[in-house]
């Protein structure tokens, strides 16, 4: 049935750009389509190019589940701290993902975060339209699919985006986010130690300075098998702390199998991003991995999640230098060594695929794209 619909829609005169623009112009996102009563999902949201891996069901193997790590008392007793550091290190090495419980953020704050995002998405479209934008220099904006015009298929998801640090948007401080930053700093401290570094190392190289928050809403979908909530990707930043409600749908790619990240009450899901893996490469010899994950569309919802991503936002005033770094050859080929020299990055060949940064400087916004390419190469190598 699903295959028939995809085939029938494979006609050559289909004007996808027109449909994308019409969808974007509603400024109402996926919720708008649901409110309009769609029973068949719009074509722009159909995942036509699926691979066998995309369709593989989640692993039922009982040993395959994301580690849940209790960090209560991490700062109270040396043995306990050591134990926690070992567990965090091992989770980042084997999975690139873990869930953290007893992290000190009260459950009512977590519930309030979920409710706040739900309330935002649930508002009248006329109110939300004010925020609808694709201008990513804005600190607060809402849209459906940040990559709507680039992705092979749109995802069944609307998102509110807020750049919370540095320089939070100009209104009252938001306490839950302050707590997320505090927890992030704690994790960076423990993860530094897990790598045998000084506790402040990751904080000192700037990992905890930028915070980018995405509040997603995944509506109940009439044809979940034809689309996806969030397509397979790895995060571009250093570390992501994700709060999800109890509906589920998040899956992690582990040993070539999709594994459900089953919601655990009060837990935050944590994963290392591309920038983390790449910037630690020289120090940790690829110990911590940034792995692919995705969110399935479901026929129940709305599912709400809040992704708090530690990374610099791409605005000039927040550019930051980090070092040392490796630049993938492809980036050098794409951008040109002259361009790199102009932005202060020297390159020289170290082997066939990687170019080492000579003057040990890297601009993070540049780093995000090169880190992604570097990590994609690594992921491909791991999959072979
Ligand atoms: O909604 C989720 O559970 C995951 C979202 C995600 O992967 C992202 O925002 O990058």
- Pocket-testing residue among 229, 305, 309, ligand 1, by greatest number of atoms within 8 A of Cβ: 305
Distance, in Å, from the CA atom of 379 to the CA atom of 235, rounded to the nearest integer, reads: 13
Q: Which atom of ligand 1 is nearest to the CA of 305?
A: 1
pLDDT recorded at residue 369: 53
Tokens coding 215: 């509040």
Q: What is the CA 67 to chain-centroid distance, rounded?
A: 19
pLDDT recorded at residue 210: 86
Distance, in Å, from the CA atom of 34 to the CA atom of 28, rounded to the nearest integer, reads: 10
Question: In angstroms, what is the span from residue 279 Cα to ligand 1's centroid?
Answer: 22
Helices of type H across the chain:
2-8, 16-26, 29-35, 52-55, 78-94, 107-122, 125-129, 175-194, 201-204, 274-279, 281-284, 329-335, 337-342, 364-383
Question: In angstroms, what is the span from residue 96 Cα to ligand 1's centroid?
Answer: 15
Find the helix packing angle between 78-94 and 175-194, rounded to 10°.
90
Find the residues whose C-beta lies inside 6 A of ligand 1: 214, 216, 230, 235, 242, 244, 250, 293, 295, 305, 307
Question: In angstroms, what is the span from residue 307 Cα to ligand 1's centroid?
Answer: 6
Q: Which atom of ligand 1 is nearest to the CA of 307?
A: 9
Helices of type H across 145-200:
175-194
> CATH 2.60.120.330 residue ranges in the chain?
2-58+68-313
Distance, in Å, from the CA atom of 269 to the CA atom of 35, rounded to the nearest integer, reads: 30
pTM for the model stands at 0.84
Question: In angstroms, what is the span from residue 247 Cα to ligand 1's centroid?
Answer: 13
pLDDT in tens, 20-55: 999 999 999 999 999 999 999 999 999 988 888 888
Question: In angstroms, what is the span from residue 304 Cα to ligand 1's centroid?
Answer: 10
pLDDT in tens, 202-225: 888 778 888 989 999 999 999 999
Closest-CA residue to 30 (of 163, 214, 213, 216): 216
- Pocket-testing residue among 295, 297, 311, ligand 1, by greatest number of atoms within 8 A of Cβ: 295
Q: Is 25 exposed, middle or buried (0-12, 13-18, 19+ CB in 10 A)?
A: exposed
Distance, in Å, from the CA atom of 349 to the CA atom of 340, rounded to the nearest integer, reads: 14
Distance, in Å, from the CA atom of 59 to the CA atom of 46, rounded to the nearest integer, reads: 24
Question: In angstroms, what is the span from residue 232 Cα to ligand 1's centroid?
Answer: 10
User: Within the chain, which residues score under 70 in pLDDT?
Assistant: 1-10, 170-176, 278-286, 313-384
Percent of the chain with pLDDT over 90: 57
Q: Are 157 and 54 in contact (CB under 8 A)?
A: no
Distance, in Å, from the CA atom of 18 to the CA atom of 25, rounded to the nearest integer, reads: 10
pLDDT recorded at residue 56: 85
Please, which residues have CB within 8 angstroms of residue 267's CB and are 6 or more apart in sequence?
68, 99, 100, 101
Q: Does domain 2-58+68-313 have CATH number 3.90.180.10?
A: no
Q: Which atom of ligand 1 is nearest to the CA of 216?
A: 1
């Amino acid at each position: 049935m699903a295959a028939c619909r995809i085939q029938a829609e494979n006609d050559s005169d289909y004007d996808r750009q027109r449909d994308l623009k019409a969808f974007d112009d509603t400024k109402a996102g996926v919720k708008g389509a649901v409110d309009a009563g769609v029973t068949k999902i719009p074509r722009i949201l159909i995942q036509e190019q699926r691979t066998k891996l995309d369709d593989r069901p989640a692993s039922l193997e009982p040993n395959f589940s994301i580690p849940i790590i209790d960090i209560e008392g991490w700062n109270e007793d040396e043995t306990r701290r050591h134990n926690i550091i070992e567990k965090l290190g091992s989770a980042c090495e084997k999975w690139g993902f873990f869930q953290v419980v007893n992290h000190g953020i009260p459950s009512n704050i977590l519930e309030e975060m979920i409710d706040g995002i739900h309330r935002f998405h649930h508002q009248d479209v006329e109110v939300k339209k004010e925020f609808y934008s694709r201008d990513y220099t804005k600190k607060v904006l809402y849209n459906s699919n940040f990559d709507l015009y680039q992705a092979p298929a749109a995802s069944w998801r609307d998102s509110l985006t807020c750049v919370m640090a540095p320089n939070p948007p100009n209104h009252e401080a938001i306490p839950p986010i302050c707590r997320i930053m505090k927890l992030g700093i704690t994790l960076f401290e423990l993860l530094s130690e897990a790598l045998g570094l000084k506790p402040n190392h990751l904080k000192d190289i700037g990992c905890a300075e930028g915070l980018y928050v995405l509040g997603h809403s995944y509506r109940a979908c009439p044809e979940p098998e034809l689309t996806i909530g969030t397509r397979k990707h790895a995060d571009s930043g250093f570390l992501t702390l994700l709060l999800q409600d109890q509906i589920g749908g998040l899956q992690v790619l582990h040993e070539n199998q999709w594994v459900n990240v089953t919601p655990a009450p009060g837990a935050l899901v944590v994963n290392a991003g591309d920038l983390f893996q790449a910037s630690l490469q020289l120090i940790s010899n690829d110990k911590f991995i940034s792995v692919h994950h995705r969110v399935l569309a479901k026929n129940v919802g709305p599912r709400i999640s809040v992704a708090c991503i530690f990374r610099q936002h791409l605005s000039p005033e927040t550019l930051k230098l980090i070092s040392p770094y490796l630049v993938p050859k492809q980036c050098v080929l794409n951008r040109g060594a002259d361009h790199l020299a102009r932005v202060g990055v020297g390159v020289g060949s170290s082997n066939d695929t990687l170019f080492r940064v000579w003057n040990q400087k890297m601009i993070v916004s540049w780093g995000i794209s090169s880190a992604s390419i570097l990590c994609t190469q690594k992921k491909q190598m791991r999959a072979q």
